Amino acid sequence: MRLSILSLVAWLAWAQNATIDGPMLGYVYDSGSRSLRPILGIAGSSSVGDPLALETPLDRAEISPRHDYALAVAAETGEVLLVSLRGGAFAARPLAGLTPAPDRIVLSPGGRSAALYSAGRNRVQIVTGLPDKAVLDREVDLSELVRPPSLLAINDEGNRVLAAAPDTDSTALYTLESGSPARYLMALGEVSAMAFAPNGTDAAIADRTRGLYRIRAADGAQDRMPAPVDNPTAVAFTDDGARLLAATPDSVVVLDAAGSELMRIPSNREPAGLHRMLGGLVFRLNDLGDEPLWLVDAGASEPRTVFVPFARSSEP
């Protein structure tokens, strides 16, 4: 899809008149302004809004799939902040007991738990009770892993974490469970993404060389999914857990719980991820940069990918 000059002018004019009080798809982190921005409107008719008025710039942020809060790192102090995004009251507060400037923050599919990885300490800190009763639940030592993890995923209860650690010619997959050391599960090829199903312990693994895998429940049983998805780059469940989305370099595939393909939506760009937005089966495919954001709307009458215009050069 090519964006004409007239379309861009129309989008920018609409954006100037949009407000955060109207329909919105959620929030996105902007590394350029080190802030969070709203995505105003609905899929196919939306724009990126002005940065939220927070007291401190943010080095990075992970936004809850429900878009009611974000976990962020304060640029000046490295503190881990919980940023409330509810009711227009945008406020940030530090979370006690967390290692400053973690290298990675991963949220659970419902946003109730988080895993924060610090490479210097080779540990993962597990936060549960998000967002209103957030507490540091435990720390997990990763010395059992062959190498530092490249990917993490955590379930909503916070009692199970998957860690993928690249080895010489494969990727070792581990499970980190409450009260137990890291336990080796299996060897995979090139793992590109992992995601738990909401409110459970089943998970999906994207392996760029071998396809999709399903990890079943706490016993760690695994099997390859029958879906014909080659070179998967990202995976995400719908909020009810009934469907799984898998991104490839040129499409987004929607699967049912058994792994059968329901639809395949062509993508105008290679998806960098699948980040759940508000407004139905809408997922963000890339981060905010100097180009438009891309969304996939799998719930539309004609499922499609759409862009969200963004022109950084027009900012004062």
Q: What is the mean pLDDT of the segment spanning 62-87?
A: 96
User: What's this model's pTM, rounded to 2 decimal places?
Assistant: 0.88
Instruction: State the average pLDDT over residues 127-135.
Output: 97
**pLDDT band per the 50, 70, 90 thresholds, residue 290:** confident
Model confidence at 305, pLDDT cuts 50, 70, 90, reads very high
CA neighbor of 235 nearest in space, from 227, 246, 226, 224: 246
Tokens 């890339």 sit at which residue?
Answer: 286
Cβ neighbours for 297, distance < 8 A, ≥ 6 positions apart = 43, 44, 280, 281, 282, 303, 304, 305, 306
Q: Report the mean per-residue pLDDT for the chain.
A: 87
| CA dist., res. 106 & res. 207, Å (int) | 19
Weakest-pLDDT range from 23-27, 192-196, 226-230: 226-230
Percent of the chain at pLDDT above 70? 89
Per-residue pLDDT band at 114 (split at 50, 70, 90): very high
pLDDT of residue 226: 62
Q: What is residue 16's predicted lDDT score, i.e. its pLDDT?
A: 40
Please report how many Cα atoms fall inside a 13 Å half-sphere around the Cα of residue 284, on the Cβ side.
24
Residues 86-96 have a mean pLDDT of: 87
Dump pLDDT digits (tens) for 266-281.
Answer: 998 889 999 999 988 9
Q: What is the mean pLDDT of residues 29-57?
A: 93
Q: CA 219 → CA 153, 172, 177, 183, 193, distances in Å?
A: 16, 17, 11, 11, 21
Rounded average pLDDT over 234-255: 94
Q: What is the pLDDT of residue 253?
A: 94
